[in-house]
Structure 1
């Protein structure tokens, strides 16, 4: 006996086969209504970087004629699908797409909706009133709209938030 193990040397990608619940690693579901694309993207990207799979997102992984790389690409694509709400999944699902295509389609979907959504939320923030709400509910609603705007790259200054809040008081 030579002392060598009969087990083959594990591939660096073997660990990815053990990930059965991507939501443990990326706990956000990407949702058009929650406007959480930037947070979701950061979590998903970091997960893939940690497993040395970012090339499947940015297109640098060459999957042509490499069945192992194609398997890994399909796993990363399944991870993507597992972190999307039903409505996002339905709108980006394409047959025979590679992970890079799916990643780009998701990015395009969220970037094309950013400006109209920012305008809608900004209008809502400008016209918000306390009405019959208690002050805490009113404040939470203002903060929520402000957070949504920040998530899509249109942050509202604290000064403007105070102005909107005061203007909405009766």
Structure 2
């Protein structure tokens, strides 16, 4: 088996932009930011030319021969790949909130962590979107001032956007009006009636 010192330097040099990884530690993965986290994570991974580590089909051959396997003589290509992969594993774990580490603790390679997160969030996002839309429908102004109520609506809307399910303008307006008090509903009704009356008057004068 070849000494690790022969290939460690080359593997470390390939991490050309470790500063980008360090800065990214401030944006840790949580329940609500997977889409943004994934975009930034992929950017950092591509900058360091490590995207092949997310594809198990790209793992180099570990042993070049049966003899090498028996003697546990790993190929240099695999040994260098493994060092790079462990750099990436360490970074991925460090880029998560502590609550997420247990979800990937059994993963040995970076691609396993990536697939685990993808599968978790695919299911989680669908559930979370439903929860937020239910929350949006149940939000009420009550005794709060309009600005406070609007802020709550905005918070939910921002979370939905971060999850890849942004509200349309019509959905936002509908959700906002639905939670207003009776006085606002009456005002809206009066405005609609005035508009209808105006249209009818215009039509009457047209004939």
TM-score category (smaller protein): 0.7 to 0.9
User: Which position in structure 1 is the counterpart of 2:184?
Assistant: none
Please give the alpha-carbon distance, in whole angstroms, between the structure 2 residues aligned to 1:124 and 1:149. Answer: 11
Q: What is the alpha-carbon distance in structure 2 between the residues aligned to residue 51 and residue 38 of structure 1?
A: 20
User: Structure 1 stretches of 5 or more lacking a match?
Assistant: 1-9
**Structure 2 counterpart of 1:7:** none
Q: What does residue 152 of structure 2 align with?
A: 141
More helix by share: 2
The number of equivalent residue pairs is 158
Alignment of 1:16-165 (within 5 A): 16=15, 19=18, 22-25=21-24, 27-32=26-31, 35-65=32-62, 66-94=78-106, 97-165=108-176
Moved more, 39-48 or 159-168: 159-168
TM-score by length of 2: 0.68
**Root-mean-square deviation over aligned CA pairs:** 2.3
* SS of residue in 2 equivalent to 1:89: helix
- Inter-partner Cα distance in structure 1 for 2:24 and 2:109: 22
- Compare CA radii of gyration and give the structure with the larger one: 2
Q: Determine whether 1:166 maps to 2:165.
A: no
1:121-145: CA deviation from partner (whole Å, max 9, x where unpaired):
1011011111233322221211111
3-state secondary structure, aligned to 2:15: helix
Instruction: Give the TM-score, by structure 1 length.
Output: 0.82
Offset, 1:50 = 0.7
Structure 2 unmatched runs, 5+: 1-8, 63-77, 182-207
Cα distance between partner residues in 2 of 1:112 and 1:160: 24
